[in-house]
Amino acid sequence: MHLLILGGTVFLSRTIAEVARDRGHEVTCAARGVSGSPPAGVEFVQVDRDQPEGLARLGDANYDAVVDVERQSPTRVRRALEALGSSAAHWTYVSSGSVYTDPGTTGQKATTSPMESPPPEGSDENDRELYGPFKVACENEVRLAVDDKAFLCRAGLIVGPRDISDRFGYWPVRLARGGEVLVPGAPDDLVQYVDVRDLAEWIVHCAKNRVVGTFDGIAPSQPWGQVLQGMLAAVGGPAVSLTWVPADWLGRQEVTPWSGPDSLPLWLPLPDYAGFMSRDVSASVKAGLSTRSTEETATATLEWEKVLGLDRDRRSGISGEREVELLAAWHAAD
């Protein structure tokens, strides 16, 4: 298979290129080359998708499959489809779970979940506040052009090597330090994410096997306590005690969930976001998605965190000093 990746230089798209290369496929990555570089052993073509003829440098090459990871511009998606859609036998567009509008209902499926509407005509395609609506618009472009050969993959939280968000990486690093660890919520709360390598392997599998349809690109849910125990088994280090603290108390202390400064990442408060962490991905599993253990993901993530620097300023998570302060306040109030 000759696979064209519109991207291929950063995180998911680069991992897709590595997986396809390692499986013996011919791989071409087309990108600006500003945010990163493609892996060794693949062809790289520098393009600028902001230009109307930005893909012209790809010439008349015929690709068996195309993977597009465009963030949120339907214009860029449309241009790619106009240039390549008629010749490619299979088309993957990596969308997002941000297209969904009901975060509270558990057990939702990709094909039946309520969704955002596309943004109003004339909206700024770079407006990140409209990320979900623009993802819907991008999906619509794909369906309009190549619906009979399209694989729409709505990715959830992607974690693992090359993730710089700290939404997952905060936890194995913190657990490896040992001591008393402040943990939000309760052990039975569900969390849901996908290892970037598992998602990449599935996308390559679906391209090769011409899988068509709309699917969630995320692993099955797991109990939060089980995930943390898996991380602990992977990272080793000094003894750890987990102190579970309710979401409402953390909210009163201005600790935010999910991501960002002064947050406890990966976690979302329940029941408001129960549906976001409990999607029914049985169709994805049936279509070939397989997932590795938490231990494997945590081990690889910790190695990546060491490359980034364990003591660096983080995009997500609380500082050690803030954690000590919060634990003291919790114990005093308990």
β 194-195/179-184 pair status: unpaired
Q: What is the pLDDT of residue 141?
A: 99
What pLDDT is recorded for position 60? Answer: 81
Split the chain (334 residues) into runs of 10 and give each run's mean pLDDT: 97 98 98 93 96 91 96 97 96 99 98 98 96 98 98 99 97 97 98 99 99 99 98 94 97 96 94 96 99 98 96 94 98 89
pLDDT at 61 (0 to 100): 84
| DSSP H/E element including 332 | helix 320-333
CA–CA gap between residue 195 and residue 260 (Å, rounded): 20
pTM over the 0.95 mark: yes
16, 41 Cβ separation under 8 angstroms: no
- Which pLDDT score is estimated for 237? 86
What pLDDT, on a 0 to 100 scale, did the predictor assign at position 160? Answer: 98
**What is d(CA 103, CA 97) in angstroms, rounded to the nearest whole number?**
10
Residue 314 tokens, joined: 């983080």
pLDDT at 145: 98
Q: What is the pLDDT of residue 187?
A: 98
Position 140 scores a pLDDT of 99
Tell how strand 179-184 and strand 213-217 pair up.
unpaired
